[in-house]
Each structure stands twice: as structure tokens, then as C-alpha cells.
């Protein structure tokens, strides 16, 4: 639909501008952290670099996920969005380890920090991060990929606030330990958001049942459909963050088999309306299936002649 394409184009434009702005802030904080000897500012610069990486990867994922399916990738490249989210969150965890390591060293051996320059750079960084966050906030509510990049930016905005606080404390009290302490706080805040995204994206990559869907409720709703006795070999998974798919074998009552198409349509409509599942594959009969196995245990090729799904 035209308005959907226009929205995607607008998002891509915002992401491009965001990458440019955060790149400038990264250079400013990196140079400022070195010149003013601020670990908090350098830690924030490292995070801003990951922001640039995250936003660039998000833009790339949106681009390639729009490419059509091929013979080798019949689902297209929708999973690229999820993979980008996984990389973003994992990279954040690596940065956190580095921040904690450097902060611990600074606590043991405090070093002088130029607070005024630190304050100016952090304030500019905060303004830019807030602008980028406002641009992405609407899209982050419904898109895991955008959400991961959005959390990068929010985490960096919070980090900038911490750096500003540290610079003010140092200016008025000369307490240098606040610099590494703020770095610890920055790392802890980033960890919470990164862990959530890592958990969500890995769940999708491992073909987990979407967290928004109650599998038992789906089984109940399918079996309550007129003409269906039971369901087995049921699988529900996410192709990407908001595209769900389902496959199942359903046992249709013998007298009702002439209505097979009508029954399948009823199930499809119910799944789409109640669970946002629009991609379904239903099989009415299966010779050799264990009808007591609701999930349908999968057999590998080298397991012999076991039935696989």
C-alpha cells in the first residue's frame, strides 16, 4: 500500500540522518574524552559508536527485508531484522564489560578530569540523542529491530545525563571518583535493555513460540472448530518480529471431510483475527503420525526412516 511505502521511506530517511548526527557526536565525545581525561565521556563515546553501528545495521536490515523471496530463500530476508537486533544487543554487552573494567581501574587510581569541557560535550550529545530518540519512538513500539536501535539511543541519552551530573559534581567538589562511578551506572542501565532485546531476538532465532501467543489457547480454538476432532504436530513461530506462522495436522471427523476447505478457512480466519497469524499450513491427514504428540517430534535425516515434519 502507498502509505506503508511512504512510512518506510520516511523511516529510512530518519535513520540516515540519525547515523550522520550520532557519528558527529561519537567523534566529539571520543576527542573530548581524550582531551578532558573523562572515562565517563569515553565510555559514552564507545556507546555512541555502537549507536552508529546499530542505526546503520537497522537501516540495512529494513532495506534487505523488503527484498522479494527467492528460490534459495523462500521467506525472503525478514530474519535479517531479528539478526540485526541480536547483534546490536550482544555488542552492547561486550561494551559493558569494557566499561566496568576501566571504571574499576579508575576507582583504584583516580585521575584529574576537565569538568567544563566534559559538560559541554555531554550536553551536545544529550540534545542530539533526544532528537534521534523522538524520531524513532513511534516506530519502536511495533518493531523489534527499531526498538533495539531506539534502546541504544535512549541508553546513550541516559549516559549523557550521567556525564553531565559527573562534570557538575567534579566542578564544585573536585570528587574525581564520580567519573568511574557514573561509568558503572551507565553500564548497568545499558545491560537491562540489552538483555531484554537479546532474549527476544534469540527466542525468535531459535523458532520459539511468540511470547504474545498462548499455544494452549490456540489448540483449544482449533479443536473447537466445527468438524475437527483433534490437532497434533503443531508448530508456531515468528518469521520476524511481527510476522507469525503456523503449521499443524488436524483430524477431521469422517462425515465432515467433504467440508475440508470450509473448515480450513474457518481455522485460518480465527487464527488471523485472534492471534495475528496470517501464514498457516494445515494438513488434514497424516499416515504414520503419532496423534498423541501435540508438537510432532522432528526426526533428523540420519535417524533412519522416522517421520519428520
Look at residue 284 and give its three-state secondary structure.
coil
Distance of CA 203 to the CA centre of its chain: 10
Q: Per-residue pLDDT tens for 193-218? A: 788 888 888 999 998 999 889 999 99
How high does pLDDT run on average in the chain? Answer: 82
Please give the tally of structural domains in the chain: 2
* 100: CATH: 1.20.1510.10
**What's the pLDDT band for 101 if we cut at 50, 70, 90?**
confident
Residues 153-180 have a mean pLDDT of 88
C-alpha distances (whole Å) from 189 to each of 30, 41, 68, 129, 249 are: 21, 16, 38, 16, 45
Same domain for 159 and 41? yes
- Indicate whether 182 belongs to any domain: yes
Measured CA to CA, the distance from residue 180 to residue 168 in angstroms comes to 14
**What's the pLDDT band for 291 if we cut at 50, 70, 90?**
low
Same domain for 102 and 230? no
- Indicate whether 309 belongs to any domain: no
Residue 135 is predicted with a pLDDT of 81
Task: Label residue 79 left, alpha or beta by phi (over 0 means left) and psi (-120 to 50 means alpha).
Answer: alpha
Same domain for 157 and 228? no
Residue 8 is predicted with a pLDDT of 63
Residue 1 is predicted with a pLDDT of 41
Residue 262 is predicted with a pLDDT of 92
More confident residue, 11 or 93: 93
**What's the pLDDT band for 7 if we cut at 50, 70, 90?**
low
- Indicate whether 253 belongs to any domain: yes
Same domain for 194 and 223? no
More confident residue, 97 or 299: 97
* 297: CATH: 3.30.70.1350
Helix (H) / strand (E) element for 166: namely helix 144-173
Measured CA to CA, the distance from residue 90 to residue 281 in angstroms comes to 34
Same domain for 226 and 195? no
Same domain for 59 and 100? yes
Within 192-287, strands assigned E span 228-240, 243-252, 277-283
Residues 100-111 have a mean pLDDT of 85
Q: Which residue has the cell 533495539?
A: 148
Same domain for 257 and 159? no
Q: Per-residue pLDDT tens for 223-275? A: 999 988 888 889 999 887 778 999 998 888 888 888 888 999 999 999 999 99
**What's the pLDDT band for 287 if we cut at 50, 70, 90?**
low
Contact 106, 180 (CB under 8 A): yes
**Residue-range definition of the domain harbouring residue 170:** 2-205
**What's the pLDDT band for 22 if we cut at 50, 70, 90?**
confident
- Which pTM was predicted? 0.70
Residue 169 is predicted with a pLDDT of 92
Residue 168 is predicted with a pLDDT of 93
**What's the pLDDT band for 63 if we cut at 50, 70, 90?**
confident
Same domain for 117 and 249? no
Residue 92 is predicted with a pLDDT of 78
Contact 233, 289 (CB under 8 A): yes
Amino acid at each position: 500500500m502507498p502509505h506503508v511505502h511512504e512510512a518506510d521511506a520516511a523511516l529510512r530517511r530518519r535513520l540516515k540522518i540519525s547515523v550522520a548526527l550520532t557519528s558527529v557526536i561519537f567523534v566529539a565525545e571520543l576527542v573530548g574524552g581524550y582531551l578532558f581525561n573523562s572515562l565517563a565521556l569515553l565510555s559514552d563515546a564507545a556507546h555512541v559508536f555502537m549507536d552508529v553501528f546499530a542505526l546503520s545495521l537497522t537501516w540495512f536490515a529494513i532495506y534487505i527485508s523488503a527484498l522479494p523471496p527467492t528460490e534459495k530463500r523462500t521467506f525472503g530476508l525478514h530474519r535479517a531484522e531479528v539478526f540485526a537486533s541480536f547483534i546490536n544487543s550482544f555488542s552492547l554487552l561486550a561494551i559493558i564489560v569494557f566499561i566496568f573494567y576501566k571504571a574499576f581501574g579508575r576507582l583504584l587510581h583516580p585521575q584529574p578530569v576537565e569538568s567544563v569541557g566534559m559538560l559541554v560535550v555531554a550536553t551536545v550529545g544529550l540534545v542530539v540523542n533526544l532528537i534521534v530518540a523522538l524520531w524513532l519512538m513511534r516506530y519502536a513500539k511495533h518493531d523489534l529491530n527499531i526498538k533495539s536501535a531506539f534502546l541504544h539511543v535512549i541508553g546513550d541519552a541516559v549516559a549523557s545525563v550521567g556525564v553531565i551530573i559527573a562534570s557538575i559534581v567534579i566542578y564544585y567538589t573536585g570528587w574525581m571518583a564520580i567519573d568511574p562511578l557514573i561509568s558503572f551506572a551507565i553500564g548497568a542501565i545499558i545491560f537491562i535493555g540489552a538483555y531484554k532485546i537479546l532474549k527476544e531476538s534469540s527466542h525468535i532465532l531459535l523458532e520459539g513460540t511468540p511470547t504474545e501467543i498462548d499455544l494452549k489457547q490456540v489448540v483449544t480454538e482449533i479443536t473447537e472448530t466445527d468438524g475437527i476432532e483433534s490437532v497434533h504436530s503443531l508448530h508456531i513461530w515468528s518469521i520476524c518480529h511481527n510476522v507469525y506462522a503456523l503449521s499443524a495436522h488436524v483430524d477431521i471427523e469422517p462425515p465432515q471431510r467433504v467440508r475440508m476447505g470450509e473448515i480450513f478457512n474457518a481455522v485460518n480466519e480465527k487464527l488471523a483475527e485472534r492471534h495475528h497469524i496470517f501464514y498457516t499450513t494445515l494438513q488434514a491427514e497424516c499416515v504414520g503420525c503419532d496423534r498423541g504428540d501435540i508438537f510432532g517430534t522432528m526426526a533428523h535425516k540420519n535417524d533412519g526412516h522416522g517421520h519428520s515434519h
